[in-house]
Every structure is written in structure tokens, then in C-alpha cells.
Amino acid sequence: METVPYYYPLLGLIPVLVVMVLLVGLRWPAKRAMPCAYAATCVLALWLWQVPFNQVAASTLQGVVLAVSILYIVFGAILLLNTLRWSGAVSAIRRALLEVSPDRRIQAILIAWLLGAFIEGASGFGTPAAVAAPLLLALGFPAMAAGMVSLIIQSTPVSFGAVGTPILIGVQGGLTGAENVEAALAASGLTLTEYVMMVGVRVAVLHAIVGVFIPLILSAALTRYFGANRSWTEGLRIWRFALFAGLAMVVPYLLTAVVLGPEFPSLAGGLIGLSVVVWALRRGWFAPRENWDFAPRSEWPKHWMGTISGEVSEGRAPMELWRAWTPYLLVGGLLVLTRLDNLPLKEWLLAVRLSWSDMLGTSVSAVAQPLYLPGTVFLIAVAGAFWIQRMRRADFAGAAGESARALAGTSVALLFAVPMARVFINSDHNLAGIPSMPLVLAEAGANIVGNGWAVFAPVVGAFGAFIAGSNTVSNMMFSLFQFSVAEQVGIATVWVVALQAVGGAAGNMICVHNVVAASATVGLHGREGQLVRLVLLPMTYYVLFAGLLGGFILLMAGRFF
């Protein structure tokens, strides 16, 4: 690793500090905070890192393309929610879920933790928040609570999201071609594919142990921040059910990772877990003695509510439950079918691509594959809802207009947030001859921590996801770095790379892209910083527990490969 002057890591923190201070500390809306963070990143890249102007401009354009893709997904999610509200489907879904359990803590676990895990396994791209948050809003949750719950579960399922992309593309792509990796694997008689499979199993072990408590944390956060009594205890009272729901997901999740590999753990964990938990609830197993609910809507503070209404009209004729759920079944089914490599659908959709290579004379490229994005699946589900639920054209026009208006406030934030991340990451192409900003920061951390690196490794993963907005990109940026540090300090590389992937998953809770997108789907424009503050504690739990667990495992395992 290259040596850089001591002040580079300090100044390299500026973009991160700008985001945290303005967004979280001063409570600026993201549409004001992110342009400032983008400007600070560009100044730092041009001045200190000496990144050529055309490289900064190309990275900005690359970010704009990615931002438009995210906005497409967000619009599809909002339009699906509004379509189902205007058709009366949400009213039917609400009644059905209330029959399973009227307890809001249990509803949050069912929708966010279990259904969210399944959607994450199929799609990634922050899609679980785009599905779960609007559905919880329609069930009667405050917008802020729906957003918080949907972000907290952006952790355990993420490493195996999009049919294993963070492991198969992120980790493997980050290690491919590195001489020290090839030498170490050759000495151990392993191929890179075998090594990545080993990493995937260890990722699942770490997630299963840390993630089993996420439903309980979710429940406690819900009652503490949104209960009439502001009590942690009210959420912890359902510990039996919460741990049961945690185990119902992580046990098949772990077994799938061991037996089948990294493609299907989140898919299997979410689907099997949801089936088992609903079956148990219908038999009264682990159900709380007293149901918990929010205070009446008239007593909610204004900052809990967004611009998208959670009110459900009961004025239409009751809809059959199968009609109401069909659009969501379409979403889940199509996401799975279009992500499997052994089916032709994925290849057909990926063939439609808009690409721009060597942008502005640089090596930066941008690719958009609109048919493969979850936004297209959402739009197909909208079309299915219009036909199956026999919507009136006037109602659909109302839903579409409401959705377009809701998207407007999010556009500015994402059109600066994503380019900021790309400039930050692409700063390795510079005239100063030093690594990129995130790698400089990570190397500084390694020099400070030394032999305690295993505890710190997930922090680097979370940092990468916070900046890049993606567990996959975090793994691509830092897997080789983590492997190299582990070799230098003499600890098992396979566990350290696994800790990188776990930390990268946890960082999705607070990454700006996810927060802005989740806020948009429930109408919380300008209050992204509030959401970040609500999920900082669960994210800190995840990273610290994973690091301590990894350190303990490495201490017990010794220094073997």
C-alpha cells in the first residue's frame, strides 16, 4: 500500500463530514445538503487529489445516469402504492393483515423483516424499502416509522441481495487479478470461485448470529420512537416472537448459503420465514398477550407524517384478497424470474442497454439497462393492477399525478448525491499518484488499528456502502484492501473479507441513496437527516457486534488461512 502525507486522510473526511453535519447535525434537507457535499468533493478532487477536470465531469455524468435509474425505481414504487390505494386494494390488504395480527410490532416484522428479505434477495437496489415502506404507510404506520423500519432491515438480507450480487460480483470482482490473492490461493490449492464460496458461508454465519436480533431491535425502536409512552420495554416484551421470527429467517438463510451458495439465502430465508411465522401466528404461537398500536392519528407530531397520505379509502366495494395481493405477487415473481441465470428472461432484459464508454476522454463509463431495473417490474405490476382490479381511468390518472408530484422533491437530492459518490470513488485516476479518497481513509484506519483490524473491518465496509450507496460497490472497492491488511497482520483473510461484506450490508441502513429513496416513497422530503438519526443506533449495533464476533472467531481460530 502506498504511503500518503498525513493530512490526506484528514482532508479526505471532508465530504463525509459535510454530509453528516448538514444532513444529521443541522437537519438540512438532502436537496440542500447534497449539493454542498458534491461541491466539497469536487474541490477536494480537483485541488488535493489533482483529478483532471474531465475525470470529475465524467464521474458526475456517470452519477447522473445512476441517479436517473434510482429515480425510475422510486417512481415505480410510489406509483404502485398509489395505484393500489386508489383501486381499494390496500384497504383489503390492511384488513387481511389485521386479521393475522393487529399488533403493529408484528406487522412491521412481517412486512419489513420477512417480506423485505425476500424482495432484497430477488432484487437488491434498495427495493425492499420501496416495497415495505409504502405498504406499512398504507397499513396505518406514520411515514417516519415506515421509513425507519424499512431501513433497519437493510442489513442481514443485503449481502445476498439481487441473487448474490454483493458476493458474486462485489467480492469476486474486487479480488480478481490481484497478484497477492492469486499467490495465496495457489499456495492453498483453491480457485478464486472456491474462495468466494468460503467467504459467502462465513458472511452467512456472521449475519445469522448478528441479524437474529434485528426483529427485536426493530420492535424496540418502533415503540421507543413512535409509541405513546416512548418505551423501549414495550417493544422488548415480544422478545419470544421477535427471536422466533429472527430464527425463522436466518436458519434457512444459513443452510441455503452452506448448501446452495450465495444466490438464494435471502430469498429462501424471507419466503420460508414468512410462511413459518404466519402459520405460527394463526395458531397463536408466541403472540403477545396485549396488542400494541400507535396513538390516534390526531395525536401524532407533524414530523412523523409525510406528503403521501396513508389514509385508506373504505368507500369502494370490498375487493377479493387475491385481487388485492396480485400486484405484489407479480413483483416478487417477476423479480425472481428475471434474476435467475438459467432462464432466458435475464439475458433478454439485459440486452436492452444504453451505454456511454470512455466518457469525455476518460475510462469512466455509464450503462443503463432500463428493462432490468426493478422500476420496470413495478410498472408491469401497476398495469396488472389496473386490469385485474378493474380500475377506473380517472382513478389511475389521480394515482399517476400524485406519484409524479411526490417524485419532484427527491430528484434534486439524488442528482447530487450519486455524482458526489462517483467523484469520491473515481478519484484514483489522479495526477498526485495516490489511491482514491475511500482507500486513503481505509489505509489510515488500518495503520491506526493494527492487530485489532478484525474489529474495525466491518466499519470500512459500512463506510464504503455509506459513500457508494451499494454493498456491491463497497465490496469491489475494499475486498482487496481487506485481504491485504489481513495478510500483513497475519489473520485469516477469508474471515476479514467476510467482515467487509457484513459491514457493507449494515452500511446500507444509512447510505444516502437508500435514505433519500425510502424517504421519497413515503413523502418525507427534506427530513432524511431525521431518518438517519433513527437508524444510526441499529447500524452501530450491527457493525460493532459483527466486528467483536469476528475478532473472537479469529482469536479462537488462530492464524490459519
End-to-end CA distance of the chain: 21
Alpha helices, H only, 14-142: 14-19, 30-47, 53-87, 89-100, 104-108, 116-122, 127-138
Cβ-count burial 27-42 (b if 16+ within 10 Å, e if not): ebbbbebbbbbbebbb
The three grid cell numbers given for residue 500, joined into one nine-digit string: 467487509
Query: Distance (Å, rounded) from C-alpha 313 to C-alpha 88?
Result: 7
Exposure string for 142-174, b = 16+ CB within 10 A, e = fewer: bbbbbbbbbbbbbbbbbbbbbbbbbbbebbbbb
What cell numbers appear for 158 in the block? Answer: 443485503
Q: What's the grid cell of residue 216?
A: 427485536
Beta bridge partners of 558: none
pLDDT of residue 557: 67
What pLDDT is recorded for position 449? 83
Rounded to two decimals, what is the model's pTM? 0.84
| pLDDT at residue 533 in the model | 93
Per the DSSP assignment, residues forming a β-bridge with 356 are 366
In the numeric block, which cell numbers belong to residue 287? Answer: 403472540
pLDDT value, residue 309: 65
pLDDT of residue 2: 53
Q: Which residues of the chain have pLDDT under 50?
A: 1, 314-315, 559-561
Helix axes 512-521, 143-152, angle to 10 degrees: 140
Name residue, grid cell 407479480. Answer: 330
Alpha-carbon torsion angle 177, 178, 181, 186, nearest 10: 50
Residue 293 backbone dihedrals phi, psi, to 5 degrees: -140, 165
Q: What is the 3-state secondary structure (H, E, C) of 337-377?
A: HCCCCCCHHHHHHHHCCEEECCHHHCCCCEEECCCCCHHHH
Determine the pLDDT at residue 316.
57
> Residue 417: its pLDDT value, please?
84
The secondary structure of 149-206 as a DSSP string is HHHHTSSTTGGGHHHHHIIIIIIHHHHTT-HHHHHHHHHHT--HHHHHHHHHHHHHHH
pLDDT of residue 504: 95
